[in-house]
């Protein structure tokens, strides 16, 4: 970590340490709420700084460059009046933490629950999440993943339109609300992953370009010009995001970050920004003695992102594996179109169990090229798998969850397929009780023209689907409200049994060493593509576990390797889980999974 100023406002010994990066400005000042204006002092590399007692925690302020209009702080910690309002000074040292005994588990022990703060509870706040921590603990969750909380326009958004990476969304509870939630999670033995976006800014309230070259025209992304990680002045842009990473870990006690779509980060410099983030986090961990994880969303199938530095990798700890999801969904009956078109169902599901990546240096018909590289030496704890997540639910036109697309039995089978994998499992909020409400795309832009453009863009995106139904209006309050979880369903018929099945499945995964140990080497698969069955065998020490999955609509015979004396640990067809009951001896029900345990390897 270098000695450059930390962007924004920090407090030390009752004085505000102020820093803003504006390399092209000839003059810079801070405008206080009372109208007073204090000149900032120029410093190396385009920074403007001031140390003063005039700004106190809770005070509002803006920056003024070359006599122009006052603007919010690009490194603001609080935007109580939204993205266009004044920034508010916050002293991050004022929170009284109670988690001194907390130890962040190794990733191998993570069982992740992804949630969106605004729709997880009726309150739509961090406090609303905190009220359900006992439930999550009982479910067996060891880590929650919170979708982005960086300040966005209005109060309804997935979070990927954030424009203040340092500021916590005011309608969720702000910085103090997030700190309280993290502290409460640690008291419940639950780690916290925060989703952050370092590949783009949202379209409304983005004042970054007014301060300096945060963007470069060298590369273009789906959101416009790329963030400047390797062009002129990129050092300070990199510093801005590195300090943001360190803030979440140091000041908010976040356990892991999930970096959104890192394939959209354009950096062809000598040291990739992810590698520099890794080095700074390692230095922080050495100083504090705390453990932090870096997880990436990645669709390049390139292990350089998760390989360690000694193998010339970027050193990320883990990544999401969309290909496991795609193969599983096609196996379960999803149509082979869009991003599912490259996936052949059960054979590719078996390959993902064995190889993590499906496309690992083979020809991709959808891409019309050979794609990916092998990740044979990367442990199972570096891959996160799921049967649904916010993207693959919310990017459907109607936002349907698996509960609306697949039978009750198939939902249990898909859950089992995820939970018996040699990878880190992740659930999407509500799937464990078959929540029927959709998770739709929603925004609350305050610019009417932008809101209308988003509305029209969403309709145009699905115009070729030729359906009688229309894409929901992203700007409508009803779209947001219809995406909220229905907690009153937990004790109702069907939902209660699904929840019980998930609890049993999670418990078994943790109790059986052959499943709990994420050793990709101790694994075999036997696939029958005609009968749509897959036998997954995993073992550890003297224990072997056989997981028989039947994705077909008919009963299938059960067969095991010779000398395997097995006992059933879990059968998804049991009436206890609202199933049809077990098949005759030697057979497995349609759309079901049976987990067997054997002491003979």
* 104 belongs to an annotated ligand binding site: no
Indicate if 297 belongs to the active site: yes
- The dihedral through the CA atoms of 359, 364, 367, 371 has a sign that is positive
Q: Which residues pair with 194 in a beta bridge?
A: 146, 257
CA angle 458, 464, 468 (to 5 degrees): 85
* 445 belongs to an annotated ligand binding site: no
* 263 belongs to an annotated ligand binding site: yes
Burial tier of 56 (Cβ tally within 10 Å: 0-12, 13-18, 19+)? middle
**Which one of the listed residues 297, 342, 400, 597 is annotated catalytic?**
297
* Closest alpha carbon to 414 in 321, 498, 531: 498
* 281 belongs to an annotated ligand binding site: no
3-state secondary structure 490-549: CCCCCHHHHHHHHHHHHHHHHHCHHHHCCCCCCEEEEEECCCCEEEEEEEECCEEEEEEE
* 471 belongs to an annotated ligand binding site: no
* 490 belongs to an annotated ligand binding site: no
**112-115 and 424-428 as β-strands: parallel, antiparallel, unpaired?**
parallel
| Beta carbons of 484 and 401 less than 8 angstroms apart | no
Give CA 531 to chain center in angstroms. 35
* 261 belongs to an annotated ligand binding site: yes
| Beta carbons of 570 and 504 less than 8 angstroms apart | yes
DSSP 8-state symbol, 109: G
* 259 belongs to an annotated ligand binding site: yes
Give CA 471 to chain center in angstroms. 25
Q: What is the DSSP string of 450-493?
A: HHHHHHHHHHHHTGGG--SS----TT-HHHHHTTS--GGGTTST
| Beta carbons of 90 and 77 less than 8 angstroms apart | yes
- The dihedral through the CA atoms of 380, 384, 388, 392 has a sign that is negative
**Which one of the listed residues 204, 260, 400, 432 is annotated catalytic?**
260
* 45 belongs to an annotated ligand binding site: no
Q: What is the DSSP string of 208-247?
A: HHHHS--EEEEEEETTEEEE-SSSTTHHHHHHHHHHHHHH
* Closest alpha carbon to 15 in 77, 87, 72, 91: 91
* 325 belongs to an annotated ligand binding site: yes
CA angle 37, 175, 192 (to 5 degrees): 150
* 392 belongs to an annotated ligand binding site: yes
* 495 belongs to an annotated ligand binding site: no
* 258 belongs to an annotated ligand binding site: yes
* Closest alpha carbon to 298 in 317, 283, 277, 285: 317
* 395 belongs to an annotated ligand binding site: yes
* 279 belongs to an annotated ligand binding site: no
Six-digit token string for 131: 């009220």
Burial tier of 354 (Cβ tally within 10 Å: 0-12, 13-18, 19+)? middle
**150-151 and 164-168 as β-strands: parallel, antiparallel, unpaired?**
antiparallel
Indicate if 91 belongs to the active site: no
Q: How far apart (Å, rounded) are the C-alpha atoms in residues 362 and 378?
A: 19
- Which residues are part of the catalytic machinery? 260, 297
Annotated binding site for substrate: 258-263, 322-326, 390-395
Binding residues: 258-263, 322-326, 390-395
């Amino acid at each position: 970590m270098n000695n450059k100023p930390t962007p924004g406002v920090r407090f030390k010994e009752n004085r505000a340490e102020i820093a803003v990066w504006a390399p092209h400005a000839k003059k810079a000042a801070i405008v206080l709420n009372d109208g007073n204006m204090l000149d900032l002092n120029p410093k190396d590399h385009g920074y403007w700084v001031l140390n003063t007692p005039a700004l106190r925690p809770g005070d509002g302020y803006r920056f003024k460059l070359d006599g122009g209009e006052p603007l919010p702080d690009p490194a603001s910690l609080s935007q109580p009046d939204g993205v266009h309002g004044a920034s508010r000074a916050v002293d991050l040292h004022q929170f009284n933490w109670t988690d001194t005994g907390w130890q962040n588990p190794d990733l191998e022990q993570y069982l992740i629950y992804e949630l969106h703060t605004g729709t997880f509870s009726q309150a739509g706040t961090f406090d609303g999440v905190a009220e359900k921590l006992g439930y999550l603990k009982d479910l067996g969750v060891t880590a929650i993943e919170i979708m982005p909380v960086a300040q966005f326009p209005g109060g309804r958004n997935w979070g990927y339109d954030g424009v203040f990476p340092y500021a916590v969304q005011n309608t969720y509870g702000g910085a103090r609300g997030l700190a309280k939630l993290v502290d409460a999670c640690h008291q419940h033995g639950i780690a916290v992953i925060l989703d952050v976006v370092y590949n783009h800014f949202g379209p409304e309230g983005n004042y970054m370009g007014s301060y300096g070259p945060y963007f470069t025209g060298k590369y273009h992304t789906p959101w416009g010009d790329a963030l400047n990680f390797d062009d002129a002045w990129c050092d300070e842009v990199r510093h801005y995001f590195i300090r943001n990473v360190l803030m979440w870990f140091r000041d908010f006690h976040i356990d892991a970050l999930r970096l959104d779509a890192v394939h959209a980060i354009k950096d062809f410099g000598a040291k990739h920004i992810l590698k520099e983030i890794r080095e700074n986090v390692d230095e922080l961990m050495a100083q504090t003695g705390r453990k932090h994880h870096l997880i990436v969303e990645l669709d390049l199938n390139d292990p350089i992102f998760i390989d360690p530095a000694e193998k010339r990798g970027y050193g990320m700890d883990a990544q999401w594996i969309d290909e496991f999801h795609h193969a599983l969904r096609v196996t379960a009956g999803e149509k082979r179109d869009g991003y599912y078109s490259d996936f052949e169902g059960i054979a590719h599901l078996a390959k993902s169990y064995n190889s993590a990546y499906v496309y690992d240096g083979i020809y991709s018909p959808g891409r019309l090229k050979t794609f990916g590289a092998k990740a044979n030496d990367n442990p199972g704890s570096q891959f996160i798998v799921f049967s649904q997540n916010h993207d693959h639910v919310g990017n459907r036109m109607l936002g349907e969850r698996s509960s609306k697309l697949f039978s009750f039995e198939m939902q249990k089978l898909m859950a089992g397929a995820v939970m018996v994998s040699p990878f880190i499992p992740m659930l999407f909020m509500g799937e464990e009780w078959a929540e029927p409400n959709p998770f739709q795309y929603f925004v609350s832009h305050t610019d009417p023209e932008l809101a209308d453009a988003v509305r029209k863009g969403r309709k145009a995106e699905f115009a070729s689907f030729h359906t009688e139904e229309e894409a929901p209006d992203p700007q409508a309050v009803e779209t947001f409200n219809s995406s909220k979880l229905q907690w009153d369903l937990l004790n109702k018929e069907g939902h209660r049994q699904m929840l019980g099945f998930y609890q049993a499945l999670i418990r078994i995964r943790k109790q059986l060493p052959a499943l709990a140990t994420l050793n990709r080497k101790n694994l075999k698969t036997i696939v029958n593509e005609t009968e749509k069955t897959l036998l997954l065998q995993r073992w550890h020490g003297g224990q072997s576990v056989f997981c028989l999955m039947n994705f077909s609509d008919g009963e299938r015979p059960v067969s095991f390797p010779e000398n395997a004396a097995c006992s059933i640990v879990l059968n998804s067809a049991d009436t206890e889980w609202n199933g049809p009951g077990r098949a005759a001896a030697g057979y497995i029900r349609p759309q079901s999974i049976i987990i067997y345990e054997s002491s003979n390897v």
